[in-house]
Amino acid sequence: MKDFKPILKTLWKNKTSPILLVIQIAVAFTILINVSHMAVNKWQEIHKPSGLDEANIFTFTANLPVEPAGYKARLEQDFADILELSSVENVMATNSIPLTNWGLGLALNRTESDESYITYAGIYSMTANFVDTLGLDVILGRQFEQAEMVLSSADYTVQSSTLMVTKAIAEKISPEDWTQTVGKTIYIHGRPYQIVGVVDELIATWPNWLRNERSIIFPAYSLTKESKFMVKAREGQLKQAMEEVHAVLMRHPGRIIDKFHAFSHTRDSGYKPMASSLIILCAVTIGLVVITMLGTFGQARFAILRRKRQIGTRRALGATKWQIVRYYMLENIVITSIGILFGAIFAVLLNVKLMDFFELLSVPSEYFLFGAVAVLVAGQFAVIPPALGAANISPASATRSA
Amino acid sequence: MVSYYIKLAWLSLRKTPLLSFLMIGTIAIGIAAAMITITVGYMMAQNPLPHKSERVAMVHLNSWDPTQPYGYRRNGKNDIPSTLTYQDAMALLQADKADKHALFAQFSEMIRAKSMDVRDAQFHPVRSTTRDFFDVFGASFIHGSTWGKEADQTGEQVIVLSKQENERLFDGVNSVGQEVLVGTLLYRVVGVIDDWQPTPRFYTHRYLMFQSTLNYFVPLESQIRNELFSPTSMGWSCWGDAPSSTLAQLLLSECVWLYMWVEFDSADKKDDYFDFLSDYSEEQRQVGRFTRPEPNRLMSVTEYLEKEGAVSKENIMGIWFALAFLLACLCNVMSLMMTKFHGKGGEIGLRRAVGASKKDIIIQFGFESVFIGFVGGVIGLLLAQVGLSILAEMFSNLHKNVMTMDVYLMVGTIGLAMSSSVAFGLWPVYRASLIQPSSQLKSL
C-alpha cells in the first residue's frame, strides 16, 4: 500500500496519457454496461417461448379456388384431404400466423367505454383443433366446444361471444389473482365477450412487439379467398408432411400456395433483424474491450519507457522484480478505477436516456459489479506483459548515460 | 517541401512498424464503425423527393370509429388512420381539387407473360393505383408510358412493369403492346419503368419504408372491377361490424385501406386543399360520419417522414455508440502518438540543434499525423464497405440502398479520419515541439 502515494504523484506529474486511458476506460465501461444489458434483453426477447410445438409445425397461405359460396365446403374438404395423410397429425386455419408480422391487434376494455382500457392484444381467430395443432397448454377453464366454433364469411369479432386468453392477458385483467379470470367479461369495440379458458403461452404475430405474449383467440374463423394454414406433422415427419400436403392441395386447378415454410423458418426470419442487431451489439462490445486493452498496454509501455532509469534506480536500491511488477499493476488499478468511476456515472446517465427511448428497464446493479470486475481483470491482463518487461530492466541501466 | 515532409512521415512510419500498424489500424477500425452506422442513418434520412417534397402531400382523413381512437401517437395523443375508405378516396378523387392524385392499394396474383407456360407463373404483389402514381413519386419510363385517363375510369386491363420483371417476362425487350396474364385476366403492357427505389420508400407505412418497390402496376379501377382482393396480405383496418370476405363488401365498408397522395403545382395550394378536406369532413358529419374530434391531416413528404420517423431510434443510438467507439480509438491513437514522438526525442533535438524552428517540428509531425489519418481513412473506408455488405446480408429485409455509401459519404470518411487524426495529434505534436535540443543532445 505504501506504493499508492508515489503512484498518485507520478500520475499527477504526467497527466496526459493516464487521462487518455481514463477516457477510454470510461467510454468502454459506459458502453459495455448498456450494450450488454440491451443484448441480454434482446436475447431474452428472441428466445421468448411461443407456446407452439415449433419443431413439428409448418404453415402456408393457400387460396380457395372456388366461388365465395363454396369457401366453407372447400376449406373443410381441404382439411379432410390433409388429415388423411399419415404424416400429418392435425391441421387448422387462422387469420394470422405467429411471428409473421401480419395480423390484427385490438384494445381490450373492462366495460363498454374505452376509458376502461386494459391492454392491447394480438388477435387470433382459428378453426377447431387449434389447441392440438399448435400444442397449446390450456391451464385454466376449458377449450372451445365444437358448437362454439364458427366458420362463416362475416367478421369473426362479430360472431362469437366467447374467447380464450393467454396467461399474460389474464394477469392484466386480474392483476391480483389471474386464476380468477375465467368467466369474466371483457369488451372489444363496445361488445362483450366471456373468457372461457386460459392458455399458458401463445405469441402474437409481431416479433418486435415487447408485449407479444398478450394474445386472445376467437372461436370463429372468417372465410375469405385466401386461408392461412398451420399443419402439425407427426414427430419427425415434417419434411415428408410438407411435401405430401403441398401435393394434395396442388391437385386442384387454380390453386395458389404461397409462403410455404416450416415454423422454424418463420421464427428465424421474424427475429432476423433482432438477431442481427444482437450480433452487432456483441461485436461493438468486443471491439471496444480489445481497443481498451490495447490502450492499456500502450499506456503502460509508454510509462515504462519513460521511467527506465527510475526503474533501474529502484532496482539498484534493492527493489525486487515483484515490487516493480506490483507497482505497475497497482498503477493500472488506480487508473482503471477512476475510469470505471466516470464510466459508471455516464452509464447511469445513458441508461436513463435509453430507458425513455426503448422502454428498457434500468440496468441492474450486478451489471456494474461484473462490468467493473471484467474491466479490471482485462486491464491487469494488458498491463502484465509490459510490467514484466519493466521488471527485467537491469539495475545497471540506471547508471548508464546521464 | 510538401513531398519532403511526406517522405519524412513515410520513413518515420517505416521505422516503427508495430506502432504505425497499431495507430493506423485503430483509426481504421474506429472510422469504419462510425461510418457504417452513419451511412445507414444518413441513407435512411434522405429526402426521397428533394425537388418537390413540400408540394407532394399525403391525405389522412379521420373517418374512424366514434367510440375509440384509431391508435396513439408517440406523444400519447390520439392518432387517425393514414389510409382512406373507398368511398372517401373516390369522393376526393372525383372532386379533383389537387393537380395530381396518386391513390393506391395492392393485391397479389400469379403472373406470367401470355406466351409463357402456366408453370412459369409467379406469385407477385401488384400495386393497384392511378395513372399519376409514376409522375408524383418520380418513376421514369424506359418504354411506353403510364395508362390514359380513361383507364382510371373504365378499369381497362393495362399494366406497367418494372425493368426487372420485363427482363423475366420479355427478356428485356420493349414489351409495350404485349400481353400478361394476371391470374386468369389478360392485361396489356403499356409501359416499363426504369430501376426505381426511393429511399426511404416514403409513400407507404413506416414498417415498409425500406423494402423494395413492387414490380407490377395496374389501374385501381381494374382491381375493383375484377374483384382482385388479397385479404390476408394487404394492409387494412376496420372497426365496428366490419364485413371482411369480399372486395365488394370492403368497398361499402368503413374499413380504411387506400393510400392517397396529392401533388400541387405550388406549395401555396396546400392550405386551400386542407380547407377542402375540412369542408368534406364537415359535409360527411352532416350524414353521421366523421364524428371523432381529431382533425384531418395533409402531410408533406418531409412532415410524413418526420411523423413516421424513418430513422429508427435504434439507428440514432447506433451512431452515438459508434462515435463513442471512435472517441475511444482516437484516445488510443493519441496515446500511441505520444509514445512515438517521445521515442523520437533524439531526432527532434538534433533537428532543433541544426536550426529547425518549433514551427518546423510542428509541421513535420503534423504531416505525419495527417498521413496516418489518411491511410487509416482509406483502410477504414474499405473496412466500412466490407461491414456494410455484411450488414446488407444480415438485414436482407431492408433494401440495400440503405447500406450503400454515396460519394459524399466516401469523401466524408477520409475527411473524418484525417481531421480526427490531426485533432488528436495536436497535443502530442505540440509536446514534441517543446523538447529542448540541449536535453536530448546530451544523451546522444
Q: What are the residue ranges spanned by the domains of chain A?
A: 4-47+272-398, 66-255
CB contact under 8 A, A31 and B427: no
Q: Are residues B69 and B179 in the same domain?
A: yes
| Residue closest to B86 by CA, chosen among B103, B106, B108, B70 | B103
Spatial separation of the C-alpha atoms in residues A58 and A60, rounded to whole Å: 7
Give percent above pLDDT 90 in chain B.
48
Nearest CA-CA distance, residue B192 and chain A, Å: 26
Kindly report which listed range (A122-126, A357-361, B258-262, B360-364) carries the lowest average pLDDT score.
A357-361
Q: Using the 3D structure, point to which of B283, B308, B333 is the last residue of a domain.
A: B308
Q: Does A20 touch chain B (CB under 8 A)?
A: yes
CB contact under 8 A, A102 and B231: no
Is the model's pLDDT at A78 over the cut of 90? yes
Spatial separation of the C-alpha atoms in residues A312 and A398, rounded to whole Å: 5
Chain A residues lying within 8 Å of B345, measured CB to CB: none
Cβ atoms of B370 and B394 within 8 Å: the answer is: no
Nearest CA-CA distance, residue A139 and chain B, Å: 31
Chain B residues lying within 8 Å of A226, measured CB to CB: 230-233
Is the model's pLDDT at A282 over the cut of 90? no
Question: Can you list the positions of beta strands (E) in B185-270?
Answer: 185-193, 216-219, 259-263
**pLDDT band, very low/low/confident/very high, at B440 (cuts 50, 70, 90):** low
pLDDT value, residue B441 = 63
Q: How many domains does chain B have?
A: 2
| Residue closest to A238 by CA, chosen among A265, A258, A207 | A265
pLDDT, tens only, B226-238 = 989 888 778 888 8
- The predicted model gives B317-345 an average pLDDT of 86
Is the model's pLDDT at A320 over the cut of 90? no
Q: How many CB pairs under 8 A join A and B?
A: 149
Closest in B245, B332, B338 to A153, CB measured = B245
Cβ atoms of B84 and B260 within 8 Å: the answer is: yes
Question: Between these two residues, B60 and B71, which has the higher pLDDT value?
Answer: B60
CB contact under 8 A, B328 and A23: yes
Calculate the average pLDDT of chain B.
Answer: 88
DSSP state of A88: E
pLDDT value, residue B243 = 60
pLDDT value, residue B245 = 67
Q: Does A24 touch chain B (CB under 8 A)?
A: yes
- The predicted model gives A175-180 an average pLDDT of 91
**pLDDT band, very low/low/confident/very high, at B179 (cuts 50, 70, 90):** very high
Q: Are residues B253 and B396 in the same domain?
A: no
Q: Are residues B346 and B432 in the same domain?
A: yes
**B89 belongs to a structural domain:** yes
CB contact under 8 A, B335 and A298: yes
| Residue closest to A92 by CA, chosen among A252, A202, A208, A253 | A202
Nearest CA-CA distance, residue B55 and chain A, Å: 32
Q: Does A189 touch chain B (CB under 8 A)?
A: yes
Cell of B4: 519532403
pLDDT value, residue B286 = 93
Nearest CA-CA distance, residue B299 and chain A, Å: 25
pLDDT value, residue B376 = 94
CB contact under 8 A, B243 and A155: yes
pLDDT value, residue B309 = 67
**pLDDT band, very low/low/confident/very high, at B11 (cuts 50, 70, 90):** confident
Cβ atoms of A281 and A37 within 8 Å: the answer is: no
Spatial separation of the C-alpha atoms in residues B374 and B389, rounded to whole Å: 23
Chain B residues lying within 8 Å of A354, measured CB to CB: 317
Chain A residues lying within 8 Å of B334, measured CB to CB: 20
Nearest CA-CA distance, residue A18 and chain B, Å: 9
Strand order in the sheet with A226-233: A88-94, A226-233, A57-63, A257-262
Q: Are residues B385 and B276 in the same domain?
A: no
Question: Between these two residues, A58 and A320, which has the higher pLDDT value?
Answer: A58
CB contact under 8 A, A31 and B325: yes
- The predicted model gives A34-39 an average pLDDT of 87
Q: Using the 3D structure, point to which of B278, B308, B338 is the last residue of a domain.
A: B308
Cβ atoms of B189 and B161 within 8 Å: the answer is: yes
Closest in B329, B338, B427 to A291, CB measured = B329
Closest in A24, A107, A287 to B29, CB measured = A287
pLDDT value, residue B143 = 95
Cell of B423: 485533432
pLDDT, tens only, B121-133 = 888 999 999 999 9
CB contact under 8 A, A256 and B123: yes
**pLDDT band, very low/low/confident/very high, at A11 (cuts 50, 70, 90):** confident
Q: Is A286 helix (H, G, I), strand (E, B) or coil?
A: helix
Helix axes A238-249, A71-84, angle to 10 degrees: 140
Q: Are residues B236 and B319 in the same domain?
A: no
CB contact under 8 A, A284 and B325: yes
Q: Does A35 touch chain B (CB under 8 A)?
A: yes
- The predicted model gives B254-274 an average pLDDT of 93
Domain that residue B122 falls in = 56-308
**Residue numbers of A between 123 and 182 with CB closer than 8 Å to B:** 153-155, 158
Q: Are residues B295 and B340 in the same domain?
A: no
CB contact under 8 A, A224 and B232: yes
Q: Are residues B134 and B162 in the same domain?
A: yes
pLDDT, tens only, B139-151 = 999 999 999 999 9
Is the model's pLDDT at A133 over the cut of 50? yes
Burial classification of residue A229, based on how many CB atoms lie within 10 Å of its CB (0-12 exposed, 13-18 middle, 19 or more buried): buried
- The predicted model gives B41-55 an average pLDDT of 86
Spatial separation of the C-alpha atoms in residues B428 and A28, rounded to whole Å: 23
**What is the separation, in whole angstroms, between the first and last Cα of chain B?**
28
pLDDT value, residue B9 = 86
pLDDT, tens only, A98-122 = 999 888 888 888 988 767 888 889 9
**pLDDT band, very low/low/confident/very high, at B72 (cuts 50, 70, 90):** confident
| Residue closest to A365 by CA, chosen among A334, A338, A342, A344 | A344
CA distances from B212 to B189, B201, B385 (A): 21, 8, 21
CB contact under 8 A, A190 and B231: no
CB contact under 8 A, A258 and B336: no
Query: What are residue A314's DSSP bridge partners?
Result: none
Q: Using the 3D structure, point to which of B275, B290, B308 is the last residue of a domain.
A: B308
Q: Are residues B327 and B264 in the same domain?
A: no
Q: Are residues B208 and B299 in the same domain?
A: yes
**pLDDT band, very low/low/confident/very high, at B442 (cuts 50, 70, 90):** low
Instruction: Write down the pTM of the prediction.
Output: 0.80
**pLDDT band, very low/low/confident/very high, at A140 (cuts 50, 70, 90):** very high
pLDDT value, residue A7 = 83
Q: Does A272 touch chain B (CB under 8 A)?
A: yes
HSE on the CB side for B232, CA within 13 Å?
26
**B51 belongs to a structural domain:** no
pLDDT value, residue B141 = 96
Buried b (16+ CB within 10 A) or exposed e, B159-184: bbbbbebbebbbeeeebbebebbbbe
Q: Are residues B316 and B437 in the same domain?
A: yes
pLDDT, tens only, A45-62 = 999 999 999 999 999 999
Element at B241 (helix H, strand E): none
pLDDT, tens only, A339-350 = 999 999 998 888
pLDDT value, residue A402 = 43
Question: Between these two residues, A361 and B114, which has the higher pLDDT value?
Answer: B114
Chain A residues lying within 8 Å of B108, measured CB to CB: 258
Query: Which residue of A14, A36, A63, A160 to mutate against B (max B Cβ within 10 Å)?
Result: A63
pLDDT value, residue A154 = 72
| Residue closest to A22 by CA, chosen among A371, A402, A339, A375 | A339
Is the model's pLDDT at B39 over the cut of 50? yes
Calculate the average pLDDT of chain A.
Answer: 88
Q: Are residues B145 and B224 in the same domain?
A: yes
Q: Are residues B114 and B243 in the same domain?
A: yes
Is the model's pLDDT at A401 over the cut of 60? no
Spatial separation of the C-alpha atoms in residues B327 and A16, rounded to whole Å: 16
pLDDT, tens only, A372-383 = 999 999 899 989
Ramachandran quadrant class, B112 (left: phi over 0; alpha: psi -120 to 50; beta: rest): beta
pLDDT, tens only, B335-356 = 888 888 877 888 888 888 888 8
